Amino acid sequence: MERRGFLKTSLSAVAMGVAAGSTRGEPSSGTAGPMDSAQLHRDSVVIDTYGKLYLEDFQKGHVDAIVHGIGVEEIFRSDAREGIIDPPEVGKNICDNLFEGADEVKRVLQRVDEILRQSVHRHPDSVELALRSSDVKRIAAAGKVAVIPMLNAGWIDNDLAVLRMYHRMGIRVFALTHIAAFDWVDSSGELNPKPGLSDFGREVVRECNRMGMLVDVSHASDQAFWDTIRTSSRPIIATHSGCRALCYVQRNLTDEMLRALADNGGVVSIFTVPSYLDTKALNDMMKSRFLPDYTERDLRLARQYSDPWEIAAAMRNTLDSHSYTEEIDLPPIDAFLDHIDHAVQVAGIDHVAVSSDNEPVEGLEDRSQWPNLTRGLVKRGYGDRDVRKILGENFLRVWDQAAGV
């Protein structure tokens, strides 16, 4: 495979029931062939279930909707308590400790408002907010991109009233945790002394069920996943994960988890991040220290500003314009399709979707190339109906069920 670099540009906020019956096993045959895969792609509702909106790419690739992950973890505390896996080094990401408690919530509210203003309100002719599944098809029919707001970690200051406030603001997908754990839920990267969900964590899941908020477990630890499955009365989603049987990464789901997710009525969304699809790419990422070293930048900002909120504003501007290149061998699109095939075989065709996390594989370097995904599914024997399910209908179904539609 050709050695190449790929550019990852963080442009945060740029123009941004009963479970359906499923049959686990091979994809069904259909009428579509390679010659009409492009038309099938255009006729389908295509949803990237986790990422950020790059409007031009979405329009070129006929991608109709994005679950926009609103993240602010780079300026939040990272609890270096006993039990953390790979705690941050001293001097790294000093801004991680800027905000706690009520200030965390204020920072999240600022970020949500910023996302909605910059991605939706600034581009009314091209982008529209989707607060229910029916909005997605209506917005797509109007030739616009639908933005479904998601909070990618549970910054609620241990207060269910804050969770309800987020829902009123438009958050429709709620990730329990991201990179850092909270005292009420583990992440796959940090473990509490008593792993999984605490009693309050179970209350969070039940409150999401009551409000109709879709619960995301992609970054949850294994025990937190199982506790969520046992607690939730509605289907849940893993918005950006892979299959651990094909690439052993803690963030990926085991076959047992995939089957449990299907029994719950939920969905796993396979994503295109190289290091979760391919072992060689994972090793290359580890050697190159996947995340850039921000130490020099952080120290400079700390010397320049005394107020945490000023540091946050300066960091936000730095992140929004920052790009970096990783020299790795990109896995081919077939690695992505292999994970989709495996998830379909284990969980069933009704329980698999797709996402990008803004990362490339060869042949799907960005969302403008997503018609290649449909072409690849057709070549592997997926019929029209199954392709439509994977591209978007499964996500719409699980969202309806989580919302009690």
Annotate 385-401 with DSSP letters as a single string: HHHHIIIIIHHHHHHHH
Annotate 350-370 with DSSP letters as a single string: GGEEEE-TT--BBTBSSGGGT
Listed range (45-54, 245-254, 294-303, 360-369) with the worst mean pLDDT: 294-303
Tokens of 263: 């029994």
DSSP 78: -
What is the biggest distance separating any 2 CA atoms in the chain, rounded to whole angstroms?
64
Higher per-residue pLDDT: 254 or 108: 254
User: What are 66-109's pLDDT values in tens digits?
Assistant: 999 987 755 444 333 333 333 334 443 444 556 777 888 888 88
In which domain, by residue range, is 75 found?
Answer: 4-402
b/e map 68-99, b = 16+ CB within 10 Å? bbbbbbbbbbbbeeeebeeeeeeeebbbbebb
261 and 232 Cβ atoms separated by less than 8 Å: no
For the chain, give the percent of residues with pLDDT over 90: 56
pLDDT averaged over the chain?
A: 82
User: What are 200-217's pLDDT values in tens digits?
Assistant: 999 999 999 999 999 999
Give the pLDDT mean for 367-393: 96
Residue 260, classified by CB atoms within 10 Å of its CB into exposed (0-12), middle (13-18) or buried (19+), is middle
Give the pLDDT mean for 19-24: 42
Tokens of 55: 């409007």
Count of domains observed in the chain: 1
Q: At what angle do helices 295-304 and 308-321 cross, to 10 degrees?
A: 140
Give the pLDDT mean for 352-360: 93
Band (pLDDT 50/70/90 cuts) for residue 44 is very high
Annotate 269-327 with DSSP letters as a single string: EEE--HHHH-HHHHHHHHHTTSS---HHHHHHHHHH-SSHHHHHHHHHHHHHH-EEEEE
Tokens of 268: 């796993």
Give the pLDDT mean for 397-404: 96
Backbone Cα Rg of the chain: 20
Q: What is the pLDDT of residue 204?
A: 98
In sequence order, the β-bridge partners of residue 4 are 328
Listed range (35-44, 79-88, 354-363, 372-381) with the worst mean pLDDT: 79-88
Q: What is the pLDDT of residue 297?
A: 67
> The CATH number of the domain where 110 resides is what?
3.20.20.140
Residues 6+ apart with CB under 8 A from 252: 241, 242, 243, 244, 246, 276
User: What are 269-319's pLDDT values in tens digits?
Assistant: 999 999 899 998 888 777 765 455 556 666 777 788 877 778 777 776 665
Strands 323-328 and 4-9, sheet pairing: antiparallel
145 and 53 Cβ atoms separated by less than 8 Å: yes
